[in-house]
Amino acid sequence: MNAAIRFIAGLRPHDHVSSARRDLRWLPIEQRIVYKLCVMMHTVHIGTAPEYIRDLVTPVCHLG
């Protein structure tokens, strides 16, 4: 990820990427994974996820 930030921002190999990452508004990898899982579960919940993904999820509680 740091290499991608350096390439996009035109930084040299030893430049710090923190400010460039902040400017790009990129999430750290762990937070990106959590975000993508949350988005996927939301699409499953509202019924817009592909059927093969909906078939993998078993609801444990139905609210509403």
- Inside any domain, residue 60: no
**How much is the pLDDT for 48?**
96
- Inside any domain, residue 62: no
What pLDDT digit, counting tens, does each position of 37-64 carry? 999 999 999 999 999 999 999 888 766 6
- Does 10 score more than 70 pLDDT? yes
User: How far apart (Å, rounded) are the C-alpha atoms in residues 7 and 1?
Assistant: 10
- Inside any domain, residue 7: yes
9 closest CA partner among 30, 29, 18 = 18
Residue range(s) defining the domain that contains residue 16? 2-54
Domain count, the chain: 1
Residues 20, 5 contacting (CB under 8 angstroms): yes
- Inside any domain, residue 63: no
Distances (CA, A) of 2 to 23, 46, 50, 53, 55: 13, 35, 33, 31, 36
**How much is the pLDDT for 64?**
60
- Inside any domain, residue 27: yes
